[in-house]
Amino acid sequence: MSNTEHLIENAIVCMEENKSYDDFISADVNKRMLELVKSPPEEIWEMAIYVYYTYRDSVKWQTEDELEKAYGYKIKDK
């Protein structure tokens, strides 16, 4: 996995833990990796926002649709 991929993953984990952008850029491991990539931290954070709030839901919905078709019943929300 590249440093950029690790940074996106770390940003997503921050979002899952209700942490902020400032928490993301202040973590020592992220500071070190940010020195090694071409993308600025704001751009990494924006990519993670897209994955967390848009792409993740579309994958979830598509998977639920496929399961409902395969097994013949609706998946109930928790």
What's at 77, amino acid-wise? D
Q: Rounded CA gap, 47 and 12, in Å?
A: 9
pTM score, two decimals?
Answer: 0.76
At 1, the pLDDT band (50, 70, 90 cuts) reads very high
Question: Which residues are CB-contacts of 10 (< 8 A; sequence separation ≥ 6)?
Answer: 24, 27, 29, 30
- Record the tokens describing residue 49, joined without a space: 């926002």
Q: What is the pLDDT of residue 65?
A: 84
| 64 compared with 36, residue with greater pLDDT | 36
Q: What is the pLDDT of residues 3-29, one digit of tens each?
A: 999 999 999 999 999 999 999 999 999
Average the pLDDT over 24-35 and give the result: 98
Domain boundaries, the chain: 3-71
What's at 76, amino acid-wise? K
